[in-house]
Chains A and B, each alone.
Chain A
Amino acid sequence: MAQTINTRVTRTDARRKVTGAATYAADEIPAGMLHGALACSSIAVGTVTSINTSVAEAEPGVVAVYTHETLPDYKTVKGFYAGGPGSASFWPMEGTEIRYAGQPVAYVVAETAAAARRGADLVEVSYEEGESRIHMTPDDSFVVGAGEDSDGMILDQGDLQAGLDSAAQSVDMTFTTPFQHHNPMEMFAATAEWRGDRLTVWMPSQSVRTLRAGIAGAYGLPETSVRVISSFVGGAFGSKAGITPYTMLTIAAAKGVGAPVRLIVTRPQMYTVATFRPESEQKFRLGADAEGRLTAFEHIETAQTSQFDMVVNAGTHITRAMYACPNIRTEQRLSRSDTNTGGFMRAPNEMQTFWGLESAMDELAWKLEMDPVELRRVNDAREHPTEGVPFSSRSLMESYDAVAQSFGWADRGREVGSMTDGDWLVGYGCATATYPTNILASNARVRMQASGNAYIALAAHDVGTGTYTIMAQVAAARLGVPVEAVDVVMGEASFPVAPISGGSTTAASAGSAVHDGCMKIAQQVATRVSAMSEGPLSGVDPAQVTLDDGTLRGPNGQSQSLAEALSMLPEGEVEVIGEFRHPALTNELVAATFKGGYGTAGPVTPDFAMFAFGAEMAEVHIHRYTHEIRVPRLHGAFAAGTWLNRKTAHSQLLGGMVWGIGSALHEVTETDSARSRFLNANIAEYLIPVNADIREVRVEMLEEQDDYVNPLGVKGIGELGIVGTAAAIGNAVYHATGTRLTSLPIRMSDLVST
């Protein structure tokens, strides 16, 4: 058999995707379907005093115009941060209250999408406007769970002040990051079809089982009466994780008009009806002795949250795992403002915090007159600095050494401003990347036939990352069949339980369930053929039979291919449910996942701390007249256990680094502070890198063995690539110019001498 793991395998769905044969949620058109459109509030805070729907209702093609007074049988669910499946705790159109700009105030159903949107434009809403504030204010912030400290929102270990006092060099710096939006290519969409008390919902989702559990619970239906289908997802990045109002509104509207309704949310509305990356402030105080060993480490993160939820993406829990230090203090704070509730956006705990941490580390290295790579080396931790358990594997310095080699780090000028290229100032910078290894329970149905075909079904999702392909690879490797012989179906809530596609968990957790299913098939087949009077494995102890690349092997060299053994069974096939239950998964965590929630163990278990690591190096050019900032080279080296598919893994890391360039230099959701609205809610004015911004991006994938994380030895990589990129670029800007920038994105306006 050809190698199917740790090799480059082209996506099994590539052809379907490029030919349009892959069906995304909005491609499903049930018979008699009508079209929905949202009308959204123009104010951020206040009250709806009246809504005139008569003009909209008179528009040709409009079937119904629903408001908070007229939408029938509209149900809502609890918000995620209150322990529910919803994207936010506050639901629009339950009453007259407006709590964020762009909040849905009316839902129009029409015969065409164009008529629905025209109708939405014609809904006339009057408001009484209240005072609002869109930005967080660190002066008005609070610690989550203060007093109880149950979730480690404040951690104080050692004596920070003593560590600062004894330091040879120290830094005290404050960094900020802006609101950002995910902007997946595929728009938010939901199609709802009721047939009596049975409901089908098609929508792009990172968690079909969360959706089904939430919807069924809200309507008091058994889960078997609700189908949720999300076969392909055109990018999610955290934006399609929870149940958002547009889905529940569409379900209610479909019930109201007695016909299937499809809503495709417009791009500007996508900025307000779902989640985003909250803005944040990152305060760091670091101290080090003359050799660079950290004597003090303090990180206070303050993140924006809505008035009605507490979005806790605890970045301090990640930063404090990075470097060895006896005196560590971290604090996790929130500040409220008048927006919808934010949420997860690719590397939700790490992108903002590593911009701060790794910039502060760079500043410390300059103060110490030390190579910033060496500063990381002397502080490389072998055990988790605050949890006291060893890392299950940690290849941070291997990553630095590999990327330094590939990048040519040794060739850099040692002084600020010492490198130029024509009219361009040149700088080099580096930063650490990490991502926690989260572990969730998962099942997978695995069936193998004597023909050599295998079938896999699970309620996982391919959010564009290649999950269909890697699930097939895992089965192919174990069962000894070609990848093409494995048919994988996913994205439907009725399939066996699989994790939410968030926190970089699917490959590791769902892949391990597929692995277990293959092993179970081998055991069942071995048991049955060993009990037969003939055949190569007749009479062997089935407990001693192993599965090796599709071959069953007995203790004394007996062997038989799995396919041949299956042909001896009257069924000609065996079907099992593979299960992944990592020893660190408590019953409560397993139960949470099976109820549609996010029951993650890790990154710290009683035995180990589990993280993937990497290092990135950037070359930045800054034009001496235009002050334009460009990144001609970005190199990264990463270690994340076993690489299942070197091609899709490479794409994930590369894509993360490209996004990191965007986070560093381009991405910001502009705000109108006077009226608390997002201003650039479209992808012409919300800048992301274009092809011309991406020059050389190189990814080195290091080998790493980790037998603890899961049977496959896999760590999640979906978010690893973006972490550290912004700091590597910011540090390179400092090297080129001597200007230390502390707010993202870094723009040429920051580098103009005023």
Chain B
Amino acid sequence: MRSFSYSSPGQIGDASDAARESGAQIIAGGTTMVDLMKIGVIAPDALVDINGLSDLEGYAVAGDRMRFGALAKMSTVADDPAVIDAFPALSESLWKAASPQLRNVATLGGNILQRTRCPYFRDTAYAQCNKRNPGSGCAALEGGETNLHAILGGSSACVAMYPGDFAQALIAFDAEVVVSGAGGERTIPFSQLHVQPGDSPEVETVLEPGEIVTEIVLPVVPAMANSTYLKARDRESYAFASASAAVGVAMDGDTVSDVRIALGGVASVPWRATDAEDSLRGQPLTEETAREAGRIAFETAEELEGSAYKIALGADVVAGALMQVKSRMGGE
């Protein structure tokens, strides 16, 4: 780890100013950042610690909009009975992530900006990584292993997978993020926060230098209460998703009036499966329609050698999540 300067501003404006300096890096829980510094993937000159901005720790789920401060801890929100009751998929996406130790320090704002676990991005012995070292190539696509990679939203420059869970609950339910920077405050639809790799995988979000995520806002809809986050992984806990799905359903009699489906573990960015949602709306929710929605969700997936199994697995997970919601709603 390289030497760096450290500041802990008490005001968001000061924090934003400090973070705008070249070589500066915002740090909150630090669970990704410190890791990446230790393995030499990032080497900031200055760390701007925003943990002192205690205004950003609060959250509220009552009313017609849920609001989550960017510095709320993953474990605090995941364990809140009001969250569990009103929006189970959100709680589940948080507690199925990482380990209890990590969730106790990791923040919601930091979590949505979690970096990829692509082994080539994380091992600096590889010169080739377009994300870490723009223009150097992609070791994964150049004969490497692709079993942890994106089958949706990748490019010929990068197939790194977005590893987060929480983001899927957010994108499925039309979240927005409030950010604060030099130009003041602005609101970004969560679906537009992350950027697909395209030709410049080093650009991961639309955030400007110095912009700090302050709040995550969600409009409350009935499907939230009938939601779940199903995560398939090779061990019971502390593992990234091989495939996951955040889903929520609202029924009008026997047919689906609203449905939300987002996919984790399979895409370069948080991923909403709108075609799959369209296939279900107005239909009854059955094993057959659920499986069809799963199939449609992966219709545009790339056949990436090491991750080919994720097409079938992801479809099964979508179907399983929908059937789990159905059974929670008291279906057969």
Contacts and interface: CB of A to CB of B under 8 A. Distances in A.
Interface string A32-44: 0000000010100
B312 A752 contact: yes
Contacts of A672: 119, 139, 144-145
Contact of A690 (B119, B144, B238, B317): B238
Size category of the A interface is 35 or more
A679 B145 contact: yes
Nearest to A102: B125
Contact of A674 (B139, B235, B242): B139
B206 to A, nearest CB: 29
Given A625-B319, A627-B316, A752-B309, A42 B126 contact: yes
Contacts of A687: 234-235, 239
Nearest to A694: B236
A677 B117 CA distance: 17
A754 B143 contact: no
Nearest to A671: B145
Interface residues of B, number: 41
Interface in B223-256: 230-239, 242-243
Given A118-B1, A754-B308, A42 B125 contact: yes
Contacts of B123: 268, 677, 679, 681
A754 B312 contact: yes
A626 interface: yes
A673 B144 CA distance: 7
Contacts of B235: 665-666, 687, 689-690, 692-693
Contact of A675 (B144, B319, B321): B144
A7 interface: no
A184 B192 CA distance: 44
B40 interface: yes
A630 B236 contact: yes
Interface-centre pick from B125, B142, B231, B317 (highest chain A CB count, 10 A): B125
Nearest to B314: A752
A627 B232 contact: yes
B209 to A, nearest CB: 26
B323 interface: yes
B1 A749 contact: no
A675 to B, nearest CB: 7
A626 B139 contact: no
B42 interface: no
B292 to A, nearest CB: 14
A62 to B, nearest CB: 13
B117 A685 contact: yes
A114 interface: yes
Interface string B110-150: 00000001010001011100000000000100111101000
A680 B234 CA distance: 15
A692 B313 contact: no
Contacts of B144: 672-675
A670 interface: yes
B234 A626 contact: no
A626 B143 contact: no
B153 interface: no
B109 interface: no
Contacts of B39: 268
A626 B145 contact: no
Interface string B38-62: 0110000000000000000000000
B1 A114 contact: yes
A626 B239 contact: no
A365 B107 CA distance: 54
Contacts of A754: 308-309, 311-312
Given A671-B145, A672-B145, A673-B145, A625 B316 contact: yes
A628 interface: yes
Contacts of A268: 39, 123
B264 interface: no
Interface string A64-99: 000000000000000000000000000000000000
B233 A628 contact: yes
B313 A670 contact: no
A30 to B, nearest CB: 26
Interface string A689-709: 111110000000000000000
B88 interface: no
B238 to A, nearest CB: 5
A681 B242 CA distance: 19
Given A42-B126, A752-B313, A752-B316, A670 B1 contact: no
Nearest to B128: A675
Interface in A402-439: 423
A121 B41 CA distance: 11
A685 B317 contact: no
B234 A665 contact: yes
A134 to B, nearest CB: 11
Nearest to B35: A684
B154 to A, nearest CB: 18
B316 to A, nearest CB: 5
A753 interface: yes
A114 B99 CA distance: 27
B242 A748 contact: yes
B117 A748 contact: no
A671 B319 CA distance: 32
Interface string A650-674: 0000000000000001100011111
A42 B237 CA distance: 32
Contacts of B142: 674
B320 interface: yes
Contacts of B230: 625-626
Given A268-B123, A687-B235, A693-B237, 11 more contacts: A626-B313, A626-B316, A627-B232, A673-B143, A674-B144, A685-B117, A690-B238, A747-B234, A749-B147, A749-B309, A754-B309
Interface of A: 40, 42, 101-102, 114, 117-118, 121, 268, 423, 623-628, 630, 665-666, 670-675, 677, 679-681, 684-685, 687, 689-693, 747-749, 752-754
22 contacts: A42-B125, A42-B127, A118-B2, A118-B3, A268-B39, A625-B321, A626-B230, A626-B243, A626-B316, A626-B320, A628-B233, A671-B145, A674-B143, A674-B144, A690-B99, A690-B237, A690-B238, A692-B237, A693-B236, A749-B309, A752-B313, A753-B312
CB-CB nearest 8 A-B residue pairs: A625-B320, A674-B143, A626-B232, A692-B236, A42-B125, A749-B309, A692-B237, A679-B119
